């Protein structure tokens, strides 16, 4: 992006580091505790430029990063945290041109990351069983890209029923009962493909891994969690932050091998 245009997402950062996410509309107004800024003053300025509010506050306008957006967008379902999304993209090996089957779409946070990772020649089929979540996710995905990305297809229903016809290279699940998808994955996931699941509790992980193992068609198992401990660096005060996100979910990946 060179300059902000009407309809763009714009992240405003004040001098205390507080972030405000706005969608720019002609004649709109942004208000915060330090006065206001007409959107018309933001439309046309370059990414990273600083403006002054009516009460003299300084705000730097930035195009939002993926993490800025998903942590601030209105949510229907709980999103996958960016720290986990980063690991899912790496360990599920999401590559440009891949066909990925995802469920549930939820709020669309992980879908956005998958769309970016598969690129314009890839395909993401995202399945959601709740229509209200599906509608909400579509709005969030379209708002992030400023359009509906051509490489995503949002489907309604149970993901189990979509594996065989999609014949994905990768399956990425954020559903409470991923073991229900295992038989369909044996049939529909391509050999050499990766099954990836994000789960909040240990018994769920156990049940999934046992189910995958019983098929004798999966190998290269890995289950892990991601902890990010941020540090505060200010002069000679260099120390870990007082607070951190303690637990989100466990990521399990396994690779499908060909049958005999
Ligand atoms: C935690 S949310 C997913 C959030 C999403 N990963 C994100 O980052 O925004 C789980 C979603 O899975 C959906 N779901 C649960 N079981 C499903 C299934 N078998 N097929 C499709 N969707 C399912 C739920 O309705 C819910 O919206």
Token output for 188? 């529909």
Estimate to the nearest angstrom the gap between the alpha carbon of 103 and the chain centroid.
Answer: 12
pLDDT at 192 over 80: yes
DSSP assigned state of 211 = H
Token output for 109? 């946070």
**Topology (CATH) of 9-64:** Vcp-like ATPase; Chain A, domain 2 (3.10.330)
pLDDT at 202 over 80: yes
**Interval between CA 111 and ligand 1 midpoint (Å):** 11
Nearby residues of 194 by Cβ (< 8 Å), 6 or more positions away:
92, 93, 169, 170, 171, 253, 254, 255, 256
What is the tens place of the pLDDT at every residue in 130-161? Answer: 999 999 999 999 999 999 999 999 999 999 99
**pLDDT confidence band for 1 (50 / 70 / 90):** low
Token output for 91? 């360990």
Q: Where are the domains of the chain?
A: 9-64, 68-256
Rounded CA separation 109/75 (Å): 9
pLDDT at 260 over 80: no
In the predicted model, what is the mean pLDDT of residues 182-198?
A: 98
Report which ligand 1 atom has the smallest distance to the Cα of 85: 8
Q: Whose CA is nearest to atom 23 of ligand 1?
A: 104
Report which ligand 1 atom has the smallest distance to the Cα of 110: 8
Residues lining ligand 1, Cβ inside 6 A: 77-80, 103-104, 106-110, 127-130, 133, 158-159, 174-175
**Interval between CA 5 and ligand 1 midpoint (Å):** 33
**Interval between CA 7 and ligand 1 midpoint (Å):** 29
Q: Whose CA is nearest to atom 3 of ligand 1?
A: 106
Chosen CATH of 68-256 out of 3.40.50.150, 3.30.530.20, 3.40.50.720, 3.20.20.140: 3.40.50.150
Q: Which of 117, 174, 197 to mutate to test the pocket of ligand 1 (most atoms within 8 A of CB)?
A: 174
In the predicted model, what is the mean pLDDT of residues 190-218?
A: 98
């Amino acid at each position: 992006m060179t300059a902000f245009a009407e309809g763009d997402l714009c992240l405003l950062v004040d001098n205390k580091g507080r972030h405000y996410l706005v969608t720019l509309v002609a004649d709109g107004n942004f208000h915060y505790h330090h006065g206001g800024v007409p959107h018309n003053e933001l439309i046309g300025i370059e990414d990273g430029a600083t403006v002054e509010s009516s009460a003299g506050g300084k705000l730097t306008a930035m195009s939002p990063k993926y993490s800025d957006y998903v942590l601030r967008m209105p949510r229907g379902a709980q999103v996958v945290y960016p720290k986990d999304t980063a690991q899912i993209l790496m360990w599920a090996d999401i590559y440009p041109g891949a066909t990925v089957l995802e469920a549930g779409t939820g709020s669309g946070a992980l879908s956005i990351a998958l769309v970016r990772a598969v690129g314009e020649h890839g395909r993401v089929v995202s399945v959601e069983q709740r229509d209200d979540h599906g509608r909400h996710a579509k709005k969030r995905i379209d708002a992030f890209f400023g359009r509906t990305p051509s490489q995503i297809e949002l489907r309604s229903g149970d993901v189990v029923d979509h594996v065989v016809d999609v014949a994905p290279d990768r399956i990425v699940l954020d559903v409470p009962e991923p073991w229900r998808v295992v038989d369909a994955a044996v049939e529909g996931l391509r050999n050499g493909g990766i099954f990836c699941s994000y789960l909040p509790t240990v018994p769920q992980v156990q049940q999934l891994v046992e189910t995958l193992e019983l098929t004798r068609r999966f190998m290269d198992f890995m289950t892990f969690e991601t902890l990010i401990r941020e540090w505060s660096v200010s002069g000679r005060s260099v120390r870990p932050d007082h607070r951190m996100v303690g637990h989100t979910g466990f990521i399990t990946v396994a690779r499908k091998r060909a049958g005999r």
